[in-house]
């Protein structure tokens, strides 16, 4: 902006310099200057019209985007989930189209910048021509000033001569007439110079008006440039906002897809668990519906056997394992009451309790600790507590609902009866 401003001092100095120009040289320079200035005026007017057209195009494009395109793409998302992908794809296409429009606008702005640069170059050249014209006018002014000084000196000399001749009027009457004629000629020249001065003042006013017009055109071009820059910045911010919104929507879509996959996995797991539950319930119902073999007593899902002959604890367990069972393991108070009811007519019997691993620490044959909260009947635990493994007593076997020995149903891989002792 500082480079392109017009220096008012140039025109002020021109006005002072033009006071001393002669009539013929000043008229020639003025007409020549005006003829050179006409193309630049046309160029300035053309640039102003072009800037106005570009501004109108940008405003129309902005209005089209804000009023027509945006409401169509910002409709409330009330459709079902299967149309979300289409809307996102449409938003992506709109962003691509907007990007192309912004690139086209950027190209237009680049062309406008080039045209403004050409205008600036033309104005700079015109300014240089003004400076050259001013230099010429200054030189002519100096010449006229020198001529004026010479004339002034001659006038002073003539005045001195006139004074001398006035003293000797009778002798120099002829010279006085000559000087009078010279004076008339000087007066005529003075009036001519006065008219030229007035003409140059009028020309100065015209030049000042032209300068003001150029300054006004330059200010208008600068305002148009600022408006275009503001429009470009606004479009750039809107593009960034749309890109941010698109990224957020894409992220939300990815999260929704991930949640949908997790939901499907959970639904599949739920269906699988439901199927397993149904199968287990069917198996449990089937097991509960089956009856035990002769000599065995049914309780819940298991069968219980009470021997009629006496054996040692190890032999009793071996016998139970041969029947695909094991010595009784009591897990609940209900089972304890059922076992006690079976032993109502017996004194005691072997069950699956041992302290083989650590003396005094009782465990069941499957390795689980004895539940001390259960009130074991003394007639069942008496010989176990004394740990008389070689005493032959009746024993009680337990066959679980799975058909495997109770000591193996826990999956702990217990030792076989041949490797166990009391």
Three-class DSSP labels, 352-371: CEECCCCCCCCEECCCCECC
Q: Tell me phi and psi for residue 44, to 5 degrees.
A: -65, -45
Which of these, 312, 309, 409, lies nearest to 365 by C-alpha position? 409
Q: Tell me phi and psi for residue 400, to 5 degrees.
A: -70, 170
pLDDT value for 30: 53
pLDDT value for 189: 94
pLDDT value for 84: 65
How much is the pTM? 0.33
Q: What is the largest CA-CA distance in the chain?
A: 194
Question: Mapping DSSP to helix (H, G, I), strand (E, B) and coil, where does residue 360 land?
Answer: coil
Output the tens digit of pLDDT for each of the chain's 422 residues: 444 444 444 444 545 444 544 444 444 455 555 556 566 777 788 888 888 888 888 888 888 777 665 555 545 545 555 566 677 778 778 888 888 888 898 889 888 888 888 889 989 998 999 899 899 999 999 999 999 999 999 999 999 989 998 888 888 888 899 999 999 999 999 999 999 999 999 999 999 999 999 999 999 999 999 999 998 999 999 999 999 989 999 998 999 989 898 888 898 999 899 889 888 877 777 666 678 888 888 888 889 998 888 899 999 999 999 999 999 998 888 888 888 888 755 567 888 888 888 887 888 988 888 866 554 443 334 434 444 567 888 888 988 764 444 443 333 333 322 223 33
Please state whether beta strands 302-306 and 396-399 pair in parallel, antiparallel, or not at all (unpaired).
Answer: antiparallel
Which of these, 283, 282, 281, 303, lies nearest to 294 by C-alpha position? 303
Q: Which tokens is 318 given?
A: 């071996």
CB count in 10 Å sphere of residue 51: 21
Chain CA centroid to CA 355, Å: 71
Chain CA centroid to CA 327, Å: 72
Give the C-alpha separation, 39 to 125, whole Å: 13
Cβ–Cβ < 8 Å for 72, 97: no
pLDDT value for 411: 32
Q: Which tokens is 100 given?
A: 């192309």
Which of these, 387, 307, 302, lies nearest to 346 by C-alpha position? 307
CB count in 10 Å sphere of residue 193: 18
Question: How does DSSP classify residue 326?
Answer: E
Give the C-alpha separation, 329 to 154, whole Å: 152
Q: Which residues contact 233 (CB under 8 A, 6 or more apart)?
A: none
pLDDT value for 202: 93
**In 290-350, where does DSSP find H-type helix?**
313-322, 333-342
Can you list the domains of the chain with their CATH numbers?
Answer: 8-265 (no CATH), 295-419 (3.10.100.10)
CA count, 13 A, side-chain hemisphere, 82: 0
Which of these, 402, 413, 319, 336, lies nearest to 367 by C-alpha position? 413
pLDDT value for 369: 85
Q: Which tokens is 47 given?
A: 């640039």
Cβ–Cβ < 8 Å for 381, 350: no
Give the C-alpha separation, 362 to 371, whole Å: 10
State the first-to-last Cα distance of the chain, in angstroms, to the nearest integer. 109
- Going edge to edge, which strands form the sheet with 296-299? 296-299, 302-306, 396-399, 326-327
CB count in 10 Å sphere of residue 313: 26
Give the C-alpha separation, 68 to 223, whole Å: 28
Give the C-alpha separation, 418 to 420, whole Å: 6
Cβ–Cβ < 8 Å for 374, 351: no
Which of these, 318, 324, 334, lies nearest to 293 by C-alpha position? 324
CA count, 13 A, side-chain hemisphere, 5: 5
Its sign, for the CA torsion 120, 124, 125, 127, is positive
Q: Tell me phi and psi for residue 343, to 5 degrees.
A: -95, 15
Q: Which tokens is 204 given?
A: 């100065």
């Amino acid at each position: 902006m500082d480079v392109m401003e017009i220096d008012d001092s140039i025109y002020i100095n021109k006005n002072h310099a033009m006071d001393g120009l002669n009539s013929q040289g000043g008229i020639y320079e003025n007409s020549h200057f005006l003829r050179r200035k006409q193309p630049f005026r046309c160029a300035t007017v053309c640039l102003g019209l072009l800037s106005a057209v570009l501004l109108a195009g940008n405003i129309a494009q902005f209005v089209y985007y804000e009023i027509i395109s945006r409401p169509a793409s910002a409709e409330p998302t009330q459709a079902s989930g299967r149309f979300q992908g289409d809307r996102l794809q449409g938003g992506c296409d709109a962003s691509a189209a907007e990007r192309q429009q912004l690139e086209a606008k950027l190209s237009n702005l680049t062309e406008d910048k080039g045209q403004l640069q050409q205008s600036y170059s033309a104005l700079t050249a015109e300014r240089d021509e003004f400076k050259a014209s001013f230099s010429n006018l200054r030189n002519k002014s100096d010449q006229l000033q020198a001529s004026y000084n010479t004339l002034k000196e001659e006038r002073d000399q003539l005045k001195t001569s006139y004074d001398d001749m006035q003293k000797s009027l009778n002798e120099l009457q002829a010279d006085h007439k000559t000087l009078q004629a010279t004076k008339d000629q000087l007066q005529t020249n003075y009036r001519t110079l006065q008219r030229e001065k007035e003409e140059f003042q009028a020309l100065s006013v015209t030049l000042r008006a032209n300068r003001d017009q150029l300054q006004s055109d330059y200010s208008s071009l600068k305002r148009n440039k600022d408006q275009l820059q503001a429009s470009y910045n606004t479009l750039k911010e809107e593009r960034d906002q749309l890109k941010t919104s698109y990224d957020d929507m894409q992220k939300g879509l990815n999260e929704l897809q991930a949640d949908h996959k997790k939901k499907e996995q959970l639904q599949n797991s739920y269906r699988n668990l439901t199927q397993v539950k149904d199968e287990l319930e069917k198996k449990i119902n089937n097991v509960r519906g089956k009856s035990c073999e002769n000599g065995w007593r049914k309780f819940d899902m298991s069968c219980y056997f009470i021997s009629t002959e006496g054996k040692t604890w190890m032999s009793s367990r071996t016998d139970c394992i041969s029947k695909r069972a094991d010595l009784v393991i009591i897990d609940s108070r209900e089972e304890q009451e059922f076992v006690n009811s079976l032993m109502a007519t017996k004194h005691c019997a072997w069950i699956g309790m041992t302290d083989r691993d650590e003396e005094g620490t009782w465990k069941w044959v499957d390795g689980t600790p004895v539940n001390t909260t259960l009130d074991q009947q003394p007639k069942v635990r008496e010989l176990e507590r004394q740990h008389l493994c070689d005493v032959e007593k009746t024993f009680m076997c337990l066959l679980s609902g799975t058909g495997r020995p109770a000591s193996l149903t826990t999956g702990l891989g217990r030792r076989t009866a041949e490797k166990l002792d009391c």
